[in-house]
Structure 1
């Protein structure tokens, strides 16, 4: 049983992972952080899962770190730097764990997506949102660096350097319309249709070749930083050779012939 997460299997090969602290707009406390780390590791090792949906309960996706009631594990500003670094690394491990999942992750952003919540969203492979969703970096508003939890890596690659700088340096709230226009999300849907649309995308992915999907995810990640087209194509060529020889690929070719 999980205290802060709701984990369901809405359809075969799909896991829906819902942050479940709705009264706090799903702010991350110590328990949620630890449960997320454990749950993501379990999903990564589960070969029966081909797609993951990440969303929030209630009217928010995730409002970031629960600064009011995180728990005893958060060090004060007076703590030694090494202790504060370990804490920051434990938070940064969350988007790293999402990105490291072999299965594609669909972030279904149903409301405010702020700070650490934005970092989780950015680590997903596909991002869709409700028309009522909003996004914000927020750390800069607390006197901290706006670059945290992978945001200075992911955000410029998704929306471009100038737009990322605007959002991270001002901490302003970004609407669903602007998020869509800037390419942060691939789709904006009605609040009532968000869950259904996320399930449709997950079902489509889960119905494809597991190896083909996972090789595609890894190639997208690796080739975002490829030094040249030739290096990217080398990886692509090897992936095609690997996937071509599988029974799954043979069966699918037979259906098309």
Structure 2
């Protein structure tokens, strides 16, 4: 229809057709993003925006009617490229991290949509098409709200931790979790057993310095409070029989040095 644009009206109608194709592409892509999303709240957000997007498509079709023109969509290469990029990225991303990819794609899309509507609104106003302008402004208002919701969620999960546990999590993720648990437990056990042979006061000081629960009468170490992470000392290393997680014992000289230092501090205080 438009081999060459010779009037502002021609250009506006072409851009309106691009916007229509854009929203149709986005509606299809929202289904892909919703399927890939792991958090239920993110799936809900995308589903709600899909309903809004359908309304936006109807608004754009109505805008053509107000202009007295036939509804005609024009291929939007931008949204097609965005859809291709996100599907490719999702294929290379562990499912536990998919929400970060989904939110990034959704946010990029919202910014593009806002730019498209801002241009159309400016030009609809300039040509005196107030009914068309009102429809476009309604679409932009929905995009602004969606962009804010996506930004808020993206910011929150970035600070809380993007990854979520999913069935079939990669071996690397499982190994990392196992290593974290075993290092804490191994370090506590090793330090507790080494310090048990020292004097009561010196041993307790060394344990406290190492961040390990102090042993009570009966020889058992007090369990750390719920949520406490026991940090292994710098000279503790990690290995396993199958390549994962065992804490090595501390060097005897280094441990004795700590005990002596602790006793010296205690004597100085008294």
TM-score between both structures, scaled by the size of structure 2: 0.21
Q: Which has the higher strand share?
A: 1
TM-score between both structures, scaled by the size of structure 1: 0.22
Q: Which has the higher helix share?
A: 2
